[in-house]
Amino acid sequence: MEYVKTLLDKIGLGAERLEMFLLSSSEGARFARIATEMTERIRELGPNPLRAKA
Amino acid sequence: MTDFEPQILAFCCHYCAYAAADLTGSMRLPYPPNVKIIHLPCSGKIDVLYLLQAFERGADGIFVAG
Amino acid sequence: MIVGDQKPFDTIKAMLADYQKILILGCETCVAVCYAGGKKEAEVLASALRMAYRLEGQEKEISDAAVQRQCEYEYNEEVADQIKAADVVLSLACGIGVQTMNEQFPEKLTLPGLNTTCLGQPTEPGVWEERCQACGDCVLDMTGGICPIARCAKNLLDGPCGGSQNGQCEINPEIPCAWQLIYDRLKALDRLDLMMEYHPPKNWSTSRDGGLRRSTRELLME
């Protein structure tokens, strides 16, 4: 994961677009929270710049 | 950019994160529809290429959960 | 095995800047097992480069392939069509593979994507360490199987130098002194007598000093 994050930085996409979470099967509420957090984070970062140029 | 709806992929382990996501549904907890889940037999199955190709094809964000 | 390290991403990106159709060609032998230049690394690099160039507004056609051994014509022949279709080839093989490609496909420039570092061995997960310098005149029979040419910074053949301190090398205190290792091994094997034998000066003409080296098998020659 760290390797891909450094690679994303080198490519120019930014490591912040990727994250790893450890959670157990009983953490349904935490999954919802993570999904919300990631959505907010990416919303702030804006669209994948590759998509605009594709 | 106000109408930007991010496309986010969640690579989830069958035994933990996918089960957790399942529980999220059973508990009727809402989470953003932007997150699309990809079911893996284990998060150890994740591969650099899955992540790069997802970004290359336009994913805005990715998380791996296991 | 031959050990290599991938050149920095930005170096590779700059090297390929002037080309449009690029083939990244991995080698599935030595450099694949040290995770530097196999099929997987070729695929990852191709994807990363496509994205990096696209972010700069350049659409390049970057494909990837891998052959079993890039140092042999027969294997490269299998991907000849892809090689010919590209403007340039970035080889992820060792220096031998890069040169084989340039000799075999003289009309096509093949660039090196790796720095070939040494003939080495995996010593712990993620670490490869030099073990042989291909001197052409092996002395391992006299040294308990530990190479003083590859492992001593001074290539000494007659025991440790004064810089051997507490079993470590003065060049880099993290590297064990080769002659300390040799002494310890011979002592454990009860063969310290090997250290007392006299040897004529080593014939360095079989090493790099003698220029380009060739091995021949007359039975196989036409």
Hey, what domains does chain C have and what are their CATH numbers? 2-118 (3.40.50.2300), 135-201 (no CATH)
Q: For residue B61, is it within any domain?
A: yes
Phi, psi of B25 (to 5 degrees): -65, -45
Q: Give me the sheet containing C21-27, strands edge to edge.
A: C61-67, C21-27, C88-91, C110-112
ipTM associated with this complex: 0.88
Q: Is B60 exposed, middle or buried (0-12, 13-18, 19+ CB in 10 A)?
A: buried
Determine the structural domain holding residue A11 and report its residue range. Answer: 2-53
Nearest CA in chain A to C53: A11
pTM: 0.91
Q: For residue B2, is it within any domain?
A: no
Determine the structural domain holding residue B48 and report its residue range. Answer: 8-65
CA distance B65 to B19: 11
Q: Write out pLDDT tens, residues C62-91.
A: 999 999 999 999 999 999 999 999 999 999
CA distance C216 to B4: 67
Structural domains in chain A (count) = 1
Chain A, 1 to 54: residues with Cβ < 8 Å from chain B are 1, 3-4, 7-8, 13, 17-32, 34-36, 38-39, 41-43, 45-48, 50-51, 54
Q: Looking at residue C176, what DSSP letter applies?
A: B
CB-nearest to B60 from A3, A29, A42 is: A42
Residue B43: how many CB atoms within 10 A of its CB? 21
- From first to last of its 66 residues, what are the pLDDT tens digits of chain B? 567 899 999 999 999 999 999 999 999 999 999 999 999 999 999 999 999 999 999 999 999 998
CA distance A50 to A32: 27
Structural domains in chain B (count) = 1
CA distance C66 to C75: 9
